[in-house]
Chain A
């Protein structure tokens, strides 16, 4: 077990290092200068800025400096937003994104589980058709359209919920629904299809024949297997939700992390691009690792650790 964990951690660190190197190379390949603007700097000021941020050094030296700072846990200072270090930006913005993401995740899991069960138990019924239509819409309607529709009805027309901003719980409802729509739709279909297949399997029929209670069959035998694909999907989904969405955060004016991804690239804010990429990859890899272990626990047939012969 320990050797497995050790190997896994080594693999994560190596991936992390490769990712940092690739991001650095790609970032330097994009045309554009972090300090260029319509009203340009004079040459002296430009030189001073490059020197101040160490961008006048060779790429190799910049890379070495970055990696050595990374080992100390410093992600650097934003080149554009001089009030913040990258660590500060993450510290200030991540809790908001994480709160919203977790809320959306729990909402999506709960709702998709309920809807998936309803569909699987009564396939081709009117409720199944209705939910399927809803899920098709959830998958196909882009979040910015859904957000605008929700804002129009719930805030502008009916004055039930706040339009935007991040203040009270009521402010979180519309962004939660917007963010949860796609994963809810996807997971509902996944649960429905898996559950329908499993309910037709021999071992479920045997259980029925033995006179087991339908709830026991569902809970102990069917659902557990039906949830396995959902669990694999949950790793990347959770990381995406936790890290925040540029569109949802922008429309609802939420002070999350998602908005900084797009801005950092548009501004060529090198340290911010690097910092956020590494932070995102750290969350993604960690969650995937947890999902791997959870899959093994849920299904003993899945061996996450090598079996010694």
Chain B
């Protein structure tokens, strides 16, 4: 008994002795939005943005000439007005009076100089190709012409003129993406300052608070031109384990969990749906299978189509993924409900095509070697692969092997064409179908990886860039029809974003492009939140 007591006392003493807290508890007195993230932002510099996860930060900290708001509506941002000249290739932007978060004015020169760094051949920007629609930008990036020759001119502090290569109907949306945001002088000149000290021109600014590797705080930018629209005192993005985030949300310590910054574990989806807590937003993205069209039997179009038609995507979506994804009956999501390009689970046609494909290759079913589905190791991909294995076995008696790889090894396999079937996805940066279709235009495009290239497809995509409105739409539709007839990729389903949201949190816009617009966010019941 005495020993037990002694142990307890020591335990208590130990904690009393070491009871100095790493930080003093802070009493919450602000309207703070708390959002969970599973990864650290790779960068806070819009010129280096690559993945979807940084877009929420970028959209909050910076603003481009235009701004994409609810339902993808494009509204003026840093440009107060703009004019499109009759040639449809020249845009004249009048920059509004606004300031960086350090009080310096935002001018046309900020855009001009930022874009100059982007188009510097030595500057490592992953998305400089997005500038290719601007006259001379591609050549400047390749170093064959100087930046002065590019179709970007700052006439004065308030006037920016951009000349395009060709009329580009989606240009105003394109310049609302982070790739076209301006950065402050310190960022441009690579001054030795911490990224949190960089000025930003968007609704929020970054504040160095807490540990900068697991917690990122954004507070309203006092100099933002539309400061009154920003209602909350701060937004905290907290790095949390996905399961921990769910528990903290249940304890009301988080206002947002799940997409776009983290993932709700697939096993929790059914329960959350049953509880009525799960929110779903459609995504401008598609999951598909890449087929290595150089590797027999995948070099046979009929074989590829047979595999595609045999799949029961509805089953996969409903019973396995459980996240309100939509079975894909074409590649681009825009017309998914209007015009399917093949029928899901069309077993009759699939079997016929499979038979013909084997005859063309002088093979019998028994002689057909095992086929391998390769994927980056994660629970979702593994479940998808298991469904494919089962469905193709049932349809054709195919022996399918599953090869789960570490992500970087998987990408290496894709790049070196060391695979037969790979599970992949594509999330577009803008709403236009060209953003999807261009991926498979050339086989040397880094993301294509199928070794498929078709002269007619290239021609249709090229023609679409010269055409207008309905004609353009038709050409892109024809291109997609060709892609689906050739089937170098097998679309599986259109992605969806799953998330949990505090019901008091309003004004937040979750874009189907995969980011949160936090500019107008507020708490409906402010006093309750402040006294939390």
Residues in A lying within 8 Å of B, measured CB to CB: 31-33, 36-46, 48-49, 51-53, 80-84, 89, 92-93, 96, 99, 103, 106-107, 110-111, 114-115, 118, 122, 127, 151, 155-156, 163-169, 171-173, 250-255, 266-268
Contacts and interface: CB of A to CB of B under 8 A. Distances in A.
A250 B25 CA distance: 22
B241 interface: yes
B247 A163 contact: yes
Highest count of chain A CB atoms <10 Å: which of B40, B121, B444: B40
B124 A52 contact: yes
Interface stretch (B5-13, B68-76, B101-109, B483-491): B5-13
Interface stretch (B327-335, B359-367, B405-413): B405-413
A36 B412 contact: yes
A51 B120 CA distance: 13
Given A52-B124, A268-B408, A46 B213 contact: no
Contact of B211 (A36, A255, A268): A255
A45 B129 contact: yes
Contacts of B170: none
25 contacts: A32-B409, A33-B408, A37-B411, A38-B424, A40-B449, A44-B128, A45-B126, A45-B128, A48-B125, A49-B126, A52-B122, A103-B18, A111-B11, A114-B7, A127-B3, A155-B247, A155-B251, A163-B244, A163-B248, A164-B241, A164-B244, A169-B19, A251-B244, A252-B244, A255-B215
B205 to A, nearest CB: 15
Contacts of A268: 408
B415 to A, nearest CB: 7
Interface of B: 3-4, 6-7, 10-11, 14-15, 18-26, 40-45, 48, 50-51, 121-129, 141-142, 195, 211-215, 238-241, 244, 247-248, 251, 253, 376, 406-409, 411-412, 415, 424-427, 444-447, 449
B411 A36 contact: yes
A89 B412 CA distance: 28
B406 A266 contact: yes
B409 A31 contact: yes
Contact of A172 (B22, B41, B129): B22
Given A41-B126, A83-B42, A164-B241, 4 more contacts: A33-B411, A83-B43, A84-B213, A96-B211
A48 B123 contact: yes
A280 B139 CA distance: 46
B6 A80 contact: no
Question: Which residue of B24, B48, B211, B214 has the most chain A CB atoms within 10 A of its CB atom?
Answer: B214
Given A46-B446, A169-B22, A164 B248 contact: yes
Contacts of B18: 103, 106-107, 169
B239 A168 contact: no
Given A41-B446, A169-B21, A83 B248 contact: no
